[in-house]
Amino acid sequence: MPIVKKELMKKMVFIVEKTGTGFSAFAEEDRYPIFTTGKNMAEIRKNVMEATNLWMEHKGLKEVTEKDVIIRLDLAQFFEYYKVINASALAERIGISQSLLSQYANRIKVPSEKQVNRILTGIRDLGKEFMHLELV
C-alpha cells in the first residue's frame, strides 16, 4: 500500500523492548519497516529519529521531528528502566492500590486502557511538577 503524505501527519509509534544488551525499537505499523537498537532510552530515542529520517529521506518524504514520534514501553519495562520512580508512592499519589500497580509492573495482571492512562497521567503530572521546581 503506498504511503501518502497526509497519512504521515499522525504520530509514528515505536515499540521498545528490553534485550540482553539494551533495548530494541520497531515501528508499530508494518508499513514503516524501521527498527533500531540502543543501550538506554536516550540512545534509543536518538537512534529511532535517525533511522526514521533515513527511511523518510529514502522514500522522498518529509523529515520527522521528536514531536512526530511516540516511544511506547509496557508498564513492567517502564518501572524496570525508571527504578528511580517508586511504584508504591506513585500508586498512592494517583489513588490506586499499591498492590494492583505492583501486579501491573510485574506482569501478573494486565491494566485496562483506562488504568494505563491514569498511570501515565500521574507520571506526566509528576514530570510537569519537576519542570517547574528549583532546589536551594
CATH topology of domain 75-131: 434 Repressor (Amino-terminal Domain) (1.10.260)
Domain-wise residue ranges, the chain: 12-72, 75-131
Task: Compute CA distances 134 → 26, 126, 129, 130, 131, whole Å.
Answer: 37, 14, 10, 8, 9
User: For 78-94, what is each residue's pLDDT tens digit?
Assistant: 998 898 999 899 999 99
User: For 98-110, what is each residue's pLDDT tens digit?
Assistant: 999 999 999 999 9
Separation of alpha carbons 48 and 35, rounded Å: 7
Separation of alpha carbons 105 and 114, rounded Å: 16
pTM, entire model: 0.79
